[in-house]
Structure 1
Amino acid sequence: MNKTFVFAVQGEGRGHLTQAIATYDLLTARGHKVAAVLIGSSKRREIPAFVRERIKAPIITYRSPNFVTCKHNKSIRITSTVVKNMLYWKTYRKSMQLIREVMQQYKPDLLLNFYEPLIGLCSIFKKFDCKIVSVAHQYIYLHPSFSFPEEGSKREAYAIKQYTKLTAKGSDHLLALSFYPLTPVTHRNITICPPLLRKDVFQQEVFGGNHVLAYLLNSGYMQEIINWHKAHPDVELHCFTDSATVKGRWHYDETLCFHSLDDQKFLHYMANAKALVTTAGFESVCEAMYFGKPVLMVPVQGHFEQWCNSRDAAKAGAGTHAESFNLDVLLDYLPQHQHNTEAFRQWTKQTKQLMLQCFADVLHQPVEELVSEEKTSSLFDLQSILSVNTQLGHS
């Protein structure tokens, strides 16, 4: 029997949006209906055009909590973020009312929450009538087998865990997307799941090109790229950014080009790149790992989650990390990079089965009833988990 879903997506950055697209494709290919997609947005960011192009369902936007950056749009200002979001409480109450109206209108069987905090806040005041599954990389922080980097701040680790618990309020199950398997695979209501890669990733022709690709979450980092490029004009660079000054494509010179965000073009350039430079967002790093492209991860200043991602992904064999966009670090690293591409690809093959099994469990029905396009394969056993885990550098 086909089911009806509603998505709620935190619109900060690209990762949660591409995860929603991948899930939309997974469900609609099996005959299920995604009735609406709720996206929490802010004045600082626009919803990328590729989201509306790929998701053929009503997209409803509203104001949602988001980060405050410095005037140069580079680092995150934690205190200002907390204060600003408290001042916007009345606005967020209106957003929560809109969410409830949408839920009442479509009456979905399952609400999928891609790390949208207002879903958790709504659930605190009054639980939704439908089941909820929350999907995000951040839920790995709540799994007992995950450890934050030892050199990290315990205060910030505690804070991000509490915020993550807030987004999960009212959820019947959590899918924690991960660079690598953890054992146990399922702990209480948390299931460790491979990354949600879009079908476009699997369709790319991959080969080693000469250019370095950069993804800049915050446009303030463009100047750092330009400064490095001036000293290394022989290195071909392509940079994708959400900067309003880049309208489609901006050729800075013969070997440096900036592009507006475009998911298809970005994947094409990544599949043919020598390496990727990114602000340590989970999704972009996973795509690079699938393509076998070494990654230089530069966490946004003050963004503890990205700081953790950069250390965690490096342990899984993605690449290396730095505190600024000094691409010398990447060039020095490239000769020593060891590819774990096949192990990572084996891990990603489990995504569909784990997600469908999770949805079936929450809806209390056999997983076969959720599948109409493809036959499900059996879940992988503990030995296969340990095998992939070992190859990716974890125990």
Structure 2
Amino acid sequence: MTAAPTIPPLDTLPGNVDRAWVRQAIALLEGDGRRSADTHLVNPVFPGLKGISIYLKDESTHPTGSLKHRLARSLFLYGICNGAIREGTPLVEASSGSTAVSEAYFAHLLRLPFIAVMPKSTSRQKVAAIERFGGHCHYVDDPAEIYDAAMRIAAETGGHYLDQFTYAERATDWRGNNNIAESIFAQMQAESHPVPRWVVMSAGTGGTSATIGRYIRYRNLDTRLLVVDVEYSAFFDAYSQGDRSARCERGSRIEGIGRPRVEPSFLPDVIDHMIKLPDAASIAAMHVLSERLFRRVGGSTGANFFGLCFAAAALMKAGEEGSLVSLICDSGDRYAATYYDPDWLAANRIDIDVYRPGIEALLDRGDLGLFETADAAAAAV
């Protein structure tokens, strides 16, 4: 027979040591958010795009230089508020890109150990940035191994697997709270076409497109979401065929976007249209935009910009006007040895001159030729 419970003594209530660390950590993350959340909305003018206004939200100005700064902060807040991240908790991520750089920054801010699991082929610039913030890199031979390796290391160290690919769509409050969608539409309020016809976004985890797509519906806006996918990525098949089991035999060459599997954060049902681009088109658009902004942008921004050109050409062909919005995801300085290196392009058989003249013709003269040809349509859709 079980004994009846007794009232415990008052001195059994625990102290508030752990919560004190949590409060301090949240205050540090909120301070970073106040200082860096609302990035500039750039409005470059292209003479050929009559009646079309282009806007680029410049996420490269965050302290860690990319859009992933927002995601990393959200993942840390999510882990802390769910009780998974405490004082001294080792943190692990499966990432070779900008997410790991941003997470290393926040781990350093909170004095937590950080390990990024990545393929051996990861660029030295990314590795150096992670190590600069005190992070450590664990290498795997096969890019597909990063998920299992990250989970194993987290279990072995008693740490927390941040898992951007699962939690990106839920760590950020898509209804508001200064997410990127809310910031975009607030900044657009005083523009000549305040409600964009399209927002264009490439997919990496799928979390940003999920946030934007949900927010558009939540605010009942007359804006549509165009998502751009790249070569060696499974996202387009998931959207067009409804196949979440789709796989690619290799990883994307456009860092930060495209995945060999369909990530849990990718939500195709909030997307209005999706296109798939050749890598040469993304990199050509990256070069064109960099020259016109007088500074380098990265390959994911190139994919976004080609998507903007695609949407602009479609509006012009239909005789319509309006605004189009996308993102500058990160600086192109990280890709000096790849996308901006002619030898690297040649070694990877990427010929940007197939697409570059047509992009420039659209921007300068309103020539729709590249976007009306059967070959371009087959490559882009």
TM-score by shorter chain over 0.5: no
Q: Specify the structure having the higher radius of gyration (Cα).
A: 2
Structure that is richer in helix per residue:
2
Structure that is richer in strand per residue:
1
Provide TM-score, normalisation by structure 2.
0.29
